[in-house]
Amino acid sequence: MLNDAKAILARFTKQIPPSVLGPERVNFIIDHIDELSNEERIELIKLMNFILETMVEREASDIELGGHGTGNFIWFRIHGKKERVQDLPQFTTDEATTLIVSLLNVNQRRHLLVSRNLDFSYSFRYLKENADIRFRADSYFELDSLTLNMRAISSKLRPLESLGFHPQAVKVMSHSHIKFGLTLITGITGSGKSTTLDAIIDYHNQFDPAHIVIIASPVEYVHKSKVSIIKHREVGRDVLSFQEGVVQSLRQDPDIIVIGEMRDPDTIMAALEVTDTGHKVFSTLHTSSAVESIDRIIAEVNPAEQERVRMRLADVLVSVVSQKLVPGLDGKLVLAKEVLVVTPSVKAAIKNNNTSEIYMMINQSGHLGMITMEQDLLRLYQQRKISKESVIAYANNKTRIRQLLKAV
């Protein structure tokens, strides 16, 4: 199978004229990919699926394929570390581009050429586990060549109780306890935000007779409706944008709205407005602390709107979870998190533009379900799950973590 697919790639790319250079080579491949027969396309799909099966079996979270930077190798990220995979086939730039393009439909190819970037999802049947496995993919240009990152989406949900939240924090996030309000799950790329968000959705799906609308780019884990009815809408596929998905959801009788990412002012404003109408909303941000998350939302909007947004955010925000995946002593990644539960004091700090006071409120409110990133890192260190070096490296407040370590 590998040799057949490699031969197809070599034969197809050999027809690219030497006079076709730079980004025109990608255009040529996209224009001529449909000249491959169905049998040849199937062989390329089988090759890609074999590579992705290998990725899953080696517990890799990400794969890199194509582009100048890979040096013709496939790269995996295994337990946080990127490395070349020496025992998988190598691909020339043109071969990798052909393999990537073979995964896309006509509309996706057009979008990629215009936007120079494409987010999409990919799935296939994994026979060894008799299950569908899914991947979040991002294809983009690098030095006029096409490259691809794919992230494995776990086929198994983690129970919310396994993530170590205080019962009070879970209660605040629960639709049955508070019917409306905004909860943010934040962290850098690869910090496990989607895993936490899916755990929250599944938690509601076990007991809450609610309508959950998920707007994502792309849709990662596909939930099966149990007690809740769950709808999935993929941006670029089912709806044009996050903002439109949020606005449209109001006419779809939702109880809980999940916004994959608040990535622009329009989506932020739509999220605040839909929460204001009495819905439970969950979303993500690329920020590393609870206070930074609040400041980021306010800073993202037009300065003339910031005071109004500050007041509205204070009224609708119910909790913020900021998380990181830290290298564990066992070689695997460990979840560390900061949790803010919005109390009347926190609301007042947001409204008065005194967000710098919120850190100490979190620090002193463990009984309310709150914990700072530094306190949680110290907890993991005391449980001998992570090293002292990792505690310091992953802390947001270096001064505070050194004080905590001295006190131990």
Q: In terms of domains, do 141 and 220 share one?
A: no
Number of independent structural domains in the chain: 2
The pLDDT of residue 125: 87
The pLDDT of residue 233: 95
If you ran DSSP here, which 8-state letter would residue 385 be given?
S
User: What is the separation of C-alpha 377 from the centre of its chain, rounded to a whole number of angstroms?
Assistant: 22
- Orientation angle between helical segments 23-32 and 2-14, nearest 10 degrees: 110
CA dist 221 and 293 (Å) reads 25
Percent of the residues in the chain that have a pLDDT greater than 70, as a whole number: 100
Residue type, 320: V
Q: In terms of domains, do 114 and 172 share one?
A: no
Q: Is the pLDDT of residue 15 over 80?
A: yes
Q: In terms of domains, do 290 and 402 share one?
A: yes
CATH number of the domain encompassing residue 199:
3.40.50.300
Task: Average the pLDDT over 57-69 and give the result.
Answer: 94
Confidence of residue 1 (pLDDT cuts 50, 70, 90): low
Q: Is the pLDDT of residue 401 over 70?
A: yes
The answer to whether 183 and 226 are in contact (CB under 8 A) is: no
Q: Is 56 helix (H, G, I), strand (E, B) or coil?
A: helix
Single residue among 153, 169, 200 that ends a domain in this structure: 153
Domain extent at residue 34: 2-153
Report pLDDT digits (tens) over 113-155: 999 999 888 999 888 878 888 899 999 999 989 999 999 987 7
The pLDDT of residue 128: 82
CA dist 161 and 159 (Å) reads 5
Strand order, beta sheet including 131-142: 81-84, 75-78, 60-66, 145-153, 131-142, 117-126
| Helical ranges in 19-82 per DSSP H | 23-32, 38-57
Q: Which position has the higher pLDDT, 332 or 313? A: 313
Q: Which position has the higher pLDDT, 292 or 107? A: 292
Single residue among 153, 171, 206 that ends a domain in this structure: 153
Q: In terms of domains, do 31 and 131 share one?
A: yes
Q: In terms of domains, do 268 and 350 share one?
A: yes
The pLDDT of residue 220: 84
Report pLDDT digits (tens) over 317-348: 999 999 999 999 998 899 999 999 999 999 99
Q: In terms of domains, do 259 and 361 share one?
A: yes
| Helical ranges in 239-386 per DSSP H | 242-249, 265-276, 290-300, 306-316, 344-351, 358-363, 373-382
CA dist 175 and 60 (Å) reads 34
The pLDDT of residue 127: 83
CATH number of the domain encompassing residue 14:
3.30.450.90
The pLDDT of residue 156: 79
CA dist 320 and 282 (Å) reads 10
Sign for the pseudo-dihedral over CA of 315, 250, 192, 228 = positive
Q: In terms of domains, do 27 and 62 share one?
A: yes
Report pLDDT digits (tens) over 236-285: 789 888 999 999 999 999 999 999 999 889 999 999 999 999 999 999 99
The answer to whether 239 and 215 are in contact (CB under 8 A) is: yes
Q: In terms of domains, do 69 and 126 share one?
A: yes
Q: CA dihedral in degrees (123, 34, 69, 217; nearest 10)?
A: -40
Q: In terms of domains, do 271 and 402 share one?
A: yes
Q: In terms of domains, do 249 and 224 share one?
A: yes
The pLDDT of residue 76: 97
Single residue among 153, 180, 196 that ends a domain in this structure: 153
Q: Say how many residues make up the chain.
A: 408
Determine what percent of the chain falls in helix, strand and coil, rounding each to the nearest 5. Answer: 45, 25, 30
- pTM for the whole structure: 0.80
CA dist 13 and 19 (Å) reads 13
Residues 6 or more apart in contact with residue 195 via CB below 8 angstroms? 154, 158
The pLDDT of residue 34: 93
Q: Is the pLDDT of residue 355 over 80?
A: yes
Report pLDDT digits (tens) over 180-225: 999 999 999 889 899 999 999 999 999 999 999 999 988 888 899 9
Q: CA dihedral in degrees (190, 71, 144, 78; nearest 10)?
A: -10
Q: Nearest-5° angle of CA 366, CA 369, CA 375?
A: 50
Over the chain, what is the mean pLDDT? 93
Q: Is 300 helix (H, G, I), strand (E, B) or coil?
A: helix
The pLDDT of residue 126: 86
The answer to whether 118 and 111 are in contact (CB under 8 A) is: yes
Q: In terms of domains, do 337 and 224 share one?
A: yes
| Helical ranges in 176-289 per DSSP H | 193-205, 242-249, 265-276
Contacts 24+ apart (CB under 8 A), 240-249: 241/266, 241/267, 242/215, 242/217, 242/267, 242/270, 243/267, 243/270, 245/213, 245/215, 246/215, 246/270, 246/271, 246/274, 247/274, 249/213, 249/215, 249/274
Q: Is 292 helix (H, G, I), strand (E, B) or coil?
A: helix
Residues 6 or more apart in contact with residue 155 via CB below 8 angstroms? 126, 129, 131, 132, 133, 134
First to last CA, the chain: 58
Cis-peptide, bond into residue 209, ω within 30° of zero: no
Q: In terms of domains, do 169 and 193 share one?
A: yes
